[in-house]
């Protein structure tokens, strides 16, 4: 048993396995998202179905989409007690993404851009990373409790809703564990990431939590395109109720599938 676990963890932490897992997951993620977004764009929008307030001109539409994308404005109108954890969670997720990018993928560029020395940069990463990591996990727990306790939301919840929350919880928990337990060698992590994305994989940090963290991220990447998580592709941007201009009387709007397929009235 112990030998078996040891063997599995050795394999899991080996250079090849972790790097390959991440390559495969990333390929599935990019391919899957590309395919999904391509399908949305390709599907015609037969009629004007824009919702009030429907801006008449493009700058108005842009403001509306930016407001939805970055401010979750419709959600704010719907329910403040949902908007608060949802918005804070998404903001912390964005910051964590930027933090990983700056701290692991382009550390030197990030450091010089911010005009900090190595010590200051690490201190900043420590403070901001810890705060955001805690914020993210608090909001996730809030959202999970809400889903479990509010009867209406619990009624509509499916396995996939809990799975997504738990997966994210585990990813952020393992991330926080590495930061707070001080087990991670950040230099090794940077080398691993640099090697990975320049296609010259090197050995990952010898830390089992790192391996678990990374494998969970791989699972998430694979899960996203095939689940509700696909909404990170910018769902609101493609939504006709939000991205159309309200000008059907000013500018003729043509139903493209009908134009291509002939008149539906005649064919039926």
Partner 1 sequence: MEIPQLHPDAAAGVQAYRAKKELLAPLGLPPELPPDWREKALCKFKELLQQRRSLSLYMDICVRCGACTDKCPFFLGTGDPKNMPVARAELMRKVYRHHFTAAGGVSGRWAAGEELTDTVLKEWFTYFYQCSECRRCAVFCPFGVDTAEITMAAREIMASIGVAPKYVTEVIKKAHETGNNIGIPEAAWIDSCQFLEEELKAQTGLDIKIPVNQAGAEVLLVPPSADVFVNTDTMMGYARFFYAAGISWTTSTYASEAANFGMFLNYDQLKKVNLRMLDAARQLGVKRLVMGECGHAWRAAQAFMDTLNGPLDFLAPPCPEHICELAARYIRTGRLKLNKSANDGLTVTYHDPCNLARAGGLLEEPREILRAVVNDFREMPANTIREKTFCCGAGAGLLTDELMPTRMNGAKPRMEAFRTTGATHLAVPCAICKAQFPVAFKHHKIEAQVVGVMDLLGRALVL
Residues at the site binding partner 1, with contacts judged by CB under 8 A: 36, 39-40, 43-54, 68, 72, 74-75, 77-79, 82, 86, 147, 150-153, 155-161, 226-228, 230-231, 235-236, 238-242, 246, 248-250, 252-255, 257, 264-265, 268
Q: Which is nearer to partner 1, 77 or 119 (CB)?
A: 77
Nearest-10 crossing angle of helices 118-149, 107-114: 100
Positive or negative, the CA dihedral 213, 218, 222, 225 is positive
Beta carbon of residue 63, minimum distance to partner 1 (angstroms, whole number):
15
Whose CA is closest to 5, among 185, 166, 207, 208? 208
Alpha-carbon distance of 73 to 83, in angstroms, equals: 9
Q: Which is nearer to partner 1, 195 or 233 (CB)?
A: 233
Q: Which is nearer to partner 1, 70 or 97 (CB)?
A: 70
Q: Which is nearer to partner 1, 35 or 97 (CB)?
A: 35
Beta carbon of residue 22, minimum distance to partner 1 (angstroms, whole number):
22
Alpha-carbon distance of 108 to 194, in angstroms, equals: 11
Alpha-carbon distance of 190 to 204, in angstroms, equals: 9
Beta carbon of residue 237, minimum distance to partner 1 (angstroms, whole number):
10
Reduced to 3 states, what is the DSSP secondary structure of residue 46? coil
Beta carbon of residue 114, minimum distance to partner 1 (angstroms, whole number):
32
Alpha-carbon distance of 189 to 116, in angstroms, equals: 20
Reduced to 3 states, what is the DSSP secondary structure of residue 52? coil
Q: Which is nearer to partner 1, 73 or 191 (CB)?
A: 73
Q: Which is nearer to partner 1, 113 or 261 (CB)?
A: 261
DSSP one-letter string for 193-204: HHHHHTT---PP
Beta carbon of residue 144, minimum distance to partner 1 (angstroms, whole number):
13
Q: Which is nearer to partner 1, 39 or 200 (CB)?
A: 39
Beta carbon of residue 198, minimum distance to partner 1 (angstroms, whole number):
32
Alpha-carbon distance of 213 to 200, in angstroms, equals: 21
Beta carbon of residue 240, minimum distance to partner 1 (angstroms, whole number):
5
Whose CA is closest to 217, among 26, 31, 35, 34? 26
Other CB atoms closer than 10 Å to residue 54's CB: what's the count?
A: 18
């Amino acid at each position: 048993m112990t030998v078996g676990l040891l063997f599995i963890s050795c394999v899991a932490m080996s250079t090849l396995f972790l790097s390959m897992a991440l390559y495969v997951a990333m390929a599935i993620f990019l391919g899957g998202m590309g395919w999904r977004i391509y399908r949305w764009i390709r599907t015609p929008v037969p009629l004007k179905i824009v919702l009030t307030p429907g801006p008449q001109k493009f700058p108005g539409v842009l403001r509306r989409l930016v407001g939805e994308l970055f401010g979750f404005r419709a959600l704010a109108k719907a329910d403040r007690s949902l908007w608060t954890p949802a918005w804070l969670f998404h903001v912390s997720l964005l910051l964590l993404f930027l933090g990983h990018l700056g701290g692991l993928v382009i550390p030197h560029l990030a450091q010089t851009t911010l005009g900090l020395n190595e010590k200051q940069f690490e201190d900043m990463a420590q403070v901001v990373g810890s705060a955001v990591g805690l914020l993210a996990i608090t909001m996730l727990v809030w959202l999970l409790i809400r889903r479990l306790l509010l009867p209406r939301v619990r009624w509509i919840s499916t396995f996939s809703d809990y799975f997504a929350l738990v997966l994210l919880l585990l990813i952020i928990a393992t991330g926080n564990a590495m930061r707070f337990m001080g087990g991670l060698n950040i230099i090794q992590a940077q080398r691993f990431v640099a090697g990975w994305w320049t296609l010259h994989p090197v050995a990952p940090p010898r830390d089992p939590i790192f391996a678990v963290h990374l494998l969970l991220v791989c699972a998430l990447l694979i899960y996203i395109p095939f689940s509700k998580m696909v909404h990170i592709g910018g769902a609101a941007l493609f939504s006709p109720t939000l991205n159309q201009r309200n000008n059907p009387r000013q500018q003729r709007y043509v139903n493209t599938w009908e134009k291509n397929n002939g008149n539906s009235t005649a064919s039926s």
